[in-house]
Chains A and B, each alone.
Chain A
């Protein structure tokens, strides 16, 4: 994202009304804009991301924040062509794991079965808390490596979306303060 795009995005986020919940039809329309993922891959990323960051009582989840579309956009603009390949390989590995565990594709599995696949993928996650260098860890080609990549990309796309920034995090930076000071009183 260039700085100009970022400024544009932030400015837009401030003036546009909050997104309404979108029916699936809109997503399908959105789907056609995918530049890297096939419709099937897109649907898979869409579902995986929404399991990683689902809707809860505070805010809508990754699907509504259009995380899959953002991941597709970032990949299409990526400088390293290997990245696209890693994602496609990773998604295929998810399908293989689903067939192995559930006897069917990820999207045809039940919600519980899908969570089981992700739980299996997540089981290799490094859970040492607090290392400042953890995020630099090399994503390997293993399914655990792909899980880290998927979770990282989902998180990044979600928390840079309007929904993530405003509905979920209630971000208050860069607001024009007219009345009382909106900052933190450290006393």
Chain B
């Protein structure tokens, strides 16, 4: 997928698959350039009554009234919005009687992996290998039937191989005829894979409101207290060792092993700041991503994930949002909200 979505609407993206169809119902008003900074509370009931926002072009402050507030600003921005929404009824931020909003921030572990050369493929002519939808995938195998001494949970491998429209051999050294020949000969002869692991959700990994720094609209930004722990480091070591072992067992010449963990935040799969659970003391949302504290407040994004597991998150985010919306529609019909 290219940035900006698919021009010809052949691939799924939110505008194509969700927003335009929702507009077609005639029941959606889209207000763009609107930066929400507070969920407003009805002082009598403690329930959400709307949202305060800034028009990001005119900088005007505005309010929108609502029967139900559904937040989907992403794992980080939703936490920020909840924490910013302080009121006498919700002094810790709305929906935050558990003190769990912003906590258990997690994501994925990446970096360690292996690159190999399949000698038999050097100098081979192009075939039609490029029509494949993607690379290869090794699902999680650690801590399923075995028990790893060094770490909990596990990781999968994502990899790539084969010739493609743009040769994968262009980082051959040098220049000139020799370089050109090497690019040609080695194209499609490389194979690589990298680990994709779970960063454990831990209470102490958290985001909170920065007391000093504000954004362009004067809204306080988030501060991060987030570090990989021992589990992540041990898991990363295992990724590198195991990746190499797998390639060697497959008869691939290993030409490089990456051992280093990419830095915290690299995976750009932020999750877990308003976790879901059945106990209102240790979680923020119920199974329908509905606030335990404020029944007409929902958070339908990556915030609700209790852990990152080792899979890409978006389909799960969307599936949960869908379920939450069905529940919401039901509750509205029953007059419960």
Question: In the complex, which range does the number of interface residues on chain A fall in?
Answer: 35 or more
With A3-B2, A183-B129 as known contacts, state yes or no: A54 contacts B255, CB within 8 Å. no
Query: 1/0 per position for B158-179, CB-CB distance to A under 8 A?
Result: 0000011111001101111101
Q: Interface stretch among B45-53, B120-128, B288-296?
A: B120-128
Question: B125 contacts A170, CB within 8 Å?
Answer: yes
Q: Which of B94-102, B180-188, B272-280 contacts A (4 or more CB under 8 A)?
A: B180-188
Contact A132 B126 (CB under 8 A): no
* CB contact between A183 and one of B7, B127, B179, B255 (< 8 Å): that residue: B127
Contact B128 A183, beta carbon cutoff 8 Å: yes
Q: By the criterion CB–CB under 8 Å, are B128 and A169 in contact?
A: no
Per-residue 0/1 for B134-174: is the Cβ within 8 Å of any A Cβ (1 yes, 0 no)?
00000000000000000000000000000111110011011
Interface stretch (choices A28-36, A87-95, A122-130): A122-130
Closest chain-B Cβ to A97's Cβ sits at a distance in Å of: 15
- Please indicate which of the listed interface residues A2, A4, A56, A184 has the most CB atoms of chain B within 10 Å of its own CB: A184
Encode A106-150 as 1/0 by CB contact (under 8 A) with B: 000000000100100010010111111111000000000000000
B128 touches A52 (CB 8 A): no
In the complex with contacts A2-B7, A54-B180, A132-B192, A170-B258 CB distance below 8 A: no
CB distance from A145 to the nearest CB of B (A): 16
Q: Which residues of A approach B to under 8 Å, CB–CB?
A: 2-4, 7, 51-54, 56, 58, 61, 115, 118, 122, 125, 127-135, 151, 155-156, 159-160, 165, 168-175, 177, 181-184
State the B residues within 8 Å of A (CB): 2, 4, 6-8, 113, 115-117, 125-131, 163-167, 170-171, 173-177, 179-181, 183-184, 187, 192, 194, 255-256, 258
